[in-house]
Chains A and B, each alone.
Chain A
Amino acid sequence: MAAVSSFHPLHGHRHCLLSSSSSSRFYLRLRAHRITSTRRSPPSTAVPIVASSSSSRPLRAAVIGGGPAGASASEALALGGVETFLIERSPSGSKPCGGAIPLCMLSEFDLPAHLVDRCVTRMRVLSPSNRIADFGRSLQPNEFIPMLRREVLDSFLRNRAVSAGAHLLPGLCTSLQLPASESDPYIVHYTASPPSPGSLAGIPSTLAVDVVVGADGANSRVARAVCAGGYATAIAFQERIRLPPAAMSHYADLAEMYVGTDVSPDFYAWVFPKCDHVAVGTGTSIAKHDIKRLQGGIRARAGPKIVGGEVIRVEAHPIPEHPRPRRVVGRVALVGDAAGYVTRCSGEGIYFAAKSGRMCGEAIVRSWKERGMVTETDLKNEYLGKWDDEYLGMFRFLDLLQRVFYGSNAGREALVELCADEYVQRMTFESYLHKRMATGDWWKNLGLAWRTVSSLMRASIVGWEIERLRMTAVDS
């Protein structure tokens, strides 16, 4: 979607307000070190000094959840010399997901080309009146949207974390015991998967760690354990449909997005190509009970293009709508879906999960190396502060776009009308593929603003006329 202006990081309200009391409540005493004050937090007072040997034991960290967020966090931690335990309940499972990642993720995370199933170079948005906006005319030759299978990506990232030194513990985390005092560790209770696939019972085990990274997704148990608060969720529902080859060739490098009240009242429905089938699905936040009807709607709208296909799987998953009230509690940090880092408007979460996992891992390693301890303040400043600085503007902008353009048929028609414009497409791709808020030419931005207003007005006028027709039809 179009990005009009550069975003302004919110520096102002974080200075001078972090108290020393919260940091002195949760910290780990292991080395004789004076806490140096960063530009954001005032120095802690009354730090008890605990003598220890010069070679202190490495920091122990548990990462709960082995998806992109957990794997990236473990990799960053392991590369920094932290003793990392990655707990994942189903290492071979596949997750319901669109499977689209931005182009920058391939380079930032060094993903090899063989992971990518398809390179989507054409994307269509279809309005309620089936007007089509063809994205892809303004793609550079080396730009595309990589589509991949989650099981392939997740296992690659996990294996890489393991080779960096993380210990993978297949099992389900059942509870997290909070420390009684500042120097106590967190106790992770988990049910380790039985080594032999035949036996049913898991082995209850415990793990004592200093830092916990909660990467266990939308129904995060870690978040519940630390009372991080809840969030509103949307539901994404999709069917994987295997198409006959002729129909599949239409979707060889094409992804479609459908908007309209018949397919979703507040989001979009999609047909995304995967390795040998297409994923046809829809999402909604306010009409969850009606999801089956909406799914029928998208199947009807895609119509003749998917007829003759065979449904091979049906899956659904909650998607967080906004971050949890507390993303860092004590020495527990939430990343990825568990923290709520899914953009509105596009519903993207994979890249932000991996990025936040990596940022959190690096923050932990940095504060450990610099100060010999990891405190709640450290996590907030190094991880949350940096994260919010970089991405809050983008998230807020996408929320605005969703509210304006997905909320009504008038907005949707205006959206498709605007998306036909080349400048909008260029801006959208730059922001989406490279995850930077694109700042275009100010003159062109003004023109875009004008066109946005006029499209919205035209669509609104048509909307009112429709309402008027309805009312006269009903009254008569």
Chain B
Amino acid sequence: MSMAFLSPPPPPTALSSLSLRSHLCLRSHLTVFPRKLPSLFLSRSAENGAGEARSSATLVEEKEAEQESKENKGETTPPGPNLGSNGAALKAEELAPPPKFKDPRWVGGTWDLKQFMKDGKTNWDAVLDAEVRRRKWLEDNPEASSNEEPVIFEASIIPWLTWIKRFHLPEAELLNGRAAMIGFFMAYFVDSLTGVGLVDQMGNFFCKTLLFVAVAGVLLIRKNDDLDTLKKLLEETTFYDNQWRATWLEDKSSSGTKGKE
């Protein structure tokens, strides 16, 4: 499953069309709902999980090489014999350490900011890039947690501007362009029909509602599929609630259809 706030339309490759779908951004603070991704994502992590949890061979440790061959490294290992059997001991080789994340700048469970200096200031973009690489590595090669080397780094120390610069500006540009075009033509249209100028339009409640609808529409509906997506999302979010109300709904329907006995 993957969750994206305002994800970009992926570049047109066959792979990406399977792996990324755009999600919708609802306006309240806690409502970013994930969608069930097709099996590609799960199967990819399944391969990696299998490779990691059961592998006992040591792997090349350079980060670059590992990133190229991050998918299954071609080793097929038989399933661990101890999984699921009673009374079996956890052998040490079953938990042989998977390749750990290594980077000269990752020191003591955090990024050494002194190594990211550029022109006397911290290069936060490089820090973010490094953190992205680290998390990607860990997604593909989950590491055992250890008490000796806890992870201390907090992504929240990276300043806001750095995050904003990554926030999919191309798509933001597209959407703003659409909104501007719609806005301009709607304002012209309403003005020609009713003679109400732009400033007066903004004072009118109905026009403000139209504006809201237009902005929401531009944000939410970007492809034809999005209407279906929205419907499915609505079903998913209300599914749990409907299960709880089901007992009571039965009474409602029975009172409607049955007369007095």
Contact = CB atoms under 8 A, between A and B. Distances in A.
Interface string A406-446: 01111101000100100000000000000000000000000
A313 B84 CA distance: 9
A184 B5 CA distance: 58
Task: Decide if the interface of chain A is mainly helix, strand, loop or mixed.
Answer: helix
A229 interface: yes
B141 to A, nearest CB: 9
Contacts of B129: 465
Contacts of B84: 292, 295, 314
A286 B1 CA distance: 10
Given A129-B151, A303-B145, A304-B146, A19 B92 contact: no
| The 9 residue pairs across chains A and B that have the minimum distance between CB atoms | A303-B144, A407-B34, A19-B255, A296-B53, A325-B246, A322-B243, A262-B142, A449-B29, A408-B3
B163 A132 contact: no
Interface in B124-147: 128-129, 131-136, 138-139, 142-147
A449 B87 contact: no
A456 B5 contact: yes
A470 B135 CA distance: 12
B229 to A, nearest CB: 15
A299 B259 CA distance: 60
Nearest to B37: A408
B76 interface: no
A304 B153 CA distance: 22
B166 to A, nearest CB: 5
Nearest to B160: A454
A388 B251 CA distance: 15
A130 B13 contact: no
B50 A293 contact: yes
Interface string B144-181: 11110011011110100001001110000000000000
Interface string B22-36: 000000011111101
Given A260-B142, A305-B146, A307-B92, 17 more contacts: A14-B248, A24-B260, A131-B151, A293-B49, A322-B243, A323-B243, A380-B247, A395-B240, A400-B30, A403-B34, A420-B154, A452-B29, A459-B155, A460-B5, A463-B4, A464-B7, A466-B136
B41 to A, nearest CB: 8
Nearest to B167: A461
B87 A467 contact: no
Interface residues of A, number: 107
Contacts of B95: 299-300, 303-304, 307
Contact of A302 (B10, B145, B166, B244): B145
Interface string A264-300: 0110000000000000000000110010111111011
Given A326-B250, A408-B2, A462-B155, A13 B245 contact: yes
Nearest to A475: B13
Contacts of A25: 261
A156 interface: no
A166 interface: no
B115 interface: no
B231 interface: no
Nearest to A309: B90
Contacts of A24: 260-261
Contacts of A129: 134-135, 138, 151
B106 to A, nearest CB: 11
Nearest to B246: A325
B251 A18 contact: yes
A471 B13 contact: yes
A467 B261 contact: no
A94 interface: no
B240 A322 contact: yes
A396 interface: yes
B42 A417 contact: no
A132 B251 contact: no
A111 interface: no
Contacts of A466: 132, 135-136, 139
Nearest to A287: B42
Interface in B63-111: 67-68, 70, 79-80, 82-90, 92, 94-95, 97-98
A22 B254 contact: yes
Interface in A202-255: 229, 231, 241, 250
B90 A241 contact: yes
B144 A300 contact: yes
Contact of B259 (A21, A287, A464, A470): A21
B122 interface: no
A294 B1 CA distance: 16
B203 interface: no
Contacts of B90: 241, 299, 306-311
Q: Which of A286, A380, A407 has the most CB of B within 10 A?
A: A407
A475 B236 CA distance: 33
B200 to A, nearest CB: 35
B19 interface: yes
A13 to B, nearest CB: 7
A473 interface: yes
A19 B15 contact: no
Contacts of B158: 458
Contacts of A307: 90, 92, 95
Contacts of B209: none
Contact of A132 (B15, B92, B145): B145
